[in-house]
Structure 1
């Protein structure tokens, strides 16, 4: 008699390379050809039939797992597959990752069934398979619908509900914020901006301009929406356009910039200070109107960034100017006394808009 110990397990064996091919929208036969080109068949001494059967087995498993990936909190409690926690985390993260080129095409658009039907154009333009484009669209829509009415931090709400990393949650938060506020991102003059440019700008707006900003008076603790009181307060910044204040602001700014930027740029600033200041203040003034706010990125490019490019401002010179321009308002003798609240509004506005301009200033 021979005693034999037998252990039976249904621990799921997951090939992440095949998972990536499935996520990328390739069919099982396309994935087989890709794996053959990678030398997988020769590496394991497998036949073509063995390779395609293995890939089809994986594809069936991924299809069964997908409903749990769409509600990640249920993945750990499902009993169909035994998957280690670290593998669960990797599966979820990869499922919600996206191609920046695809999402750049989707950014700012309504997440409607009509736009989902138009994903053929996105697929053709980005060279990303249609199935993958649909997954990315559906993921964004699902996340948006989940968190759009939630109180609290967008990033934390996304992390708690979808169990993704901080980095990925930040990107989804920015996408939700831009979509919710209907910012225009698809105009031709904005094509040069990447998804990361918009993510950076959106995260700064969330931090300083939303209801969850430290400066917000209402403490709604909801950063999917912009703080209406702040937008209304920005209208008062038009006082910076009064002649006496504008003249002093120009004098103080130009004096502070001597030796810090080129003589050419300083001369240009001396000639155009009134117009540059007017543009920045008018953008602040108009943010209270939804239609104007929607076009904030195109306004920054057309009215401020392009003129600065045309006269040859370097990134460093523009950064130096914006820092000095914002800071000097705190030292104006002509600024109305007792207006600390207005100065705080100015600080909240100009620091954020300056960060956005610099992020968008590609030379």
Structure 2
């Protein structure tokens, strides 16, 4: 008798998508497949796998085609998890989204202050040439910023949380995009020659401080999720109109007396002498900037005014960054001694809310 043996074989067919992180990063960087192949060749990948340059190029082209097809989902991240065309692990999805929206600070520094219009996009060639970042990558970064801005500009609630939820980004990247959106919405001037020394990090630091302390979601405010977070809170701006009286002669003289007493022996001789002769000018600058936040033109020129009327004069007079910190700390602390504020507690709170942010911004802008 012959025995018949039957073998049962389970077969699994899948379309799992492999994402090579090195190749993906080169694709995001705007490198052509040919350029990417040469980059990897220089890193010794051919020797590692015993492949030829043509084989490497073919493999990269295959990856590039895949990433180009996936890109439409990256533009609307929540669809990446629900689409069925590509089987991508959750960890890889997170990586792809985060890297897709990551940007080069030098590129975004050039974009800050622009309208994010089609005309500006057509001028990215200059930014690409200046920053040495491939044009394709510059376009991706510009388009991402514009996409995020358009999506959240009228959403209510926390700007950072709105970005984080809509685009599934990390806390840190969401915070950076929030600052960029805030800058764009308020049209801050960042392109003037005297601001050229300021870095992307300088502007983002200041913008985040403004969002935290001046927007509708200010922690001590009674704002609700119904408030839009891309601008400065209206009640705060109205309150700042009252501080104009700090530039009156009587208030200035008393303010100077309190501050000079507080900084006695704490400033360098150069800074002390300059402050004695220029306290009124520096104080009026801080007051005028506060009052000017109510007007679009003055708000847009916030960084220009701080650099031109505070940072530059102090630098020319030989102030160190420590001198600036010491003066501004005393300027804020002694405000409570003014009779003007003793009878206007609400205005005093607004003034302190304003100073806590503007002082940190000035220190950030004051490069030694």
TM-score strictly above 0.5 = yes
Alignment partner, residue 286 of structure 1: 292
Q: For each residue in 1:125-155, what CA deviation from the matched residue of structure 2 results, as whole angstroms up to 9, or x when unmatched?
A: 1111111111001000000010000001111
Match of 2:49 in 1: 44
Q: Deviation at 1:216? A: 4.2
Report deviation, 1:12: 1.2
Q: Aligned partners of 1:214, 1:11: CA distance in 2, in Å?
A: 45
RMSD across aligned positions (CA):
1.4
Name the structure 1 match of 2:18: 13
Which residue among 153, 166, 170 is the counterpart of 2:171? 166
How do 1:78-89 and structure 2 match up within 5 A?
A: 78-89=83-94
Contact 1:201 1:359 in 2 (8 A): yes
Residues 249-277 of structure 1, C-alpha deviations (whole Å, 9 max, x = no match): 11111111112222332222111111110
Q: Distance in 2 between matches of 1:261 and 1:152?
A: 43
Any conservation in 1 of the 2:215–2:233 contact (CA below 8 Å)? yes
Match of 1:121 among 120, 123, 126: 126
Output one character per residue of 1:17-55: Cα deviation in whole Å (capped at 9) or x when no partner: 000110011111111111111111111001222111110
1:336 and 1:205 mapped to 2: Cα distance?
23
What is the aligned counterpart of 1:243 among 238, 246, 249? 249
Moved more, 218-227 or 346-355: 218-227
CA contact (8 A) 1:216 1:227 kept: no
TM-score by length of 2: 0.95
| Whole-angstrom distance in 2 between the partners of 1:119 and 1:112 | 11
1:142 is matched with 147
d(CA) in 2 for partners of 1:214, 1:93: 28
Tell me the distance in 1 between the aligned counterparts of 2:278 and 2:166: 50
Unaligned runs of 5+ in 1: none
Q: Is residue 28–residue 56 contact of structure 1 (8 Å, CA) maintained in 2? A: yes
CA deviations on 1:47-102 (whole Å, 9 max, x unpaired) are: 22211111011001000100000000010111111111011000000000001111
Q: Output aligned runs, 1:1-363, within 5 Å.
A: 4-216=9-221, 219=224, 220-332=226-338, 334-335=339-340, 337-363=342-368
Could you list the per-position Cα deviations for residues 316-341 of structure 1 after superposition, in whole angstroms to 9, with x for gaps in the alignment? 11111101101101122x32542001
- SS of the equivalent of 1:184 reads coil
Q: How many Å separate the matches in 1 of 2:295 and 2:250?
A: 28
TM-score (norm 1): 0.97
Flag structure 2 segments of 5+ consecutive residues without an equivalent. none
Do 1:210 and 1:216's aligned partners in 2 also have CA atoms closer than 8 Å? no
Answer whether contact 2:270 2:317 (CA < 8 A) is retained. no
8 Å contact kept, 1:68–1:75: yes
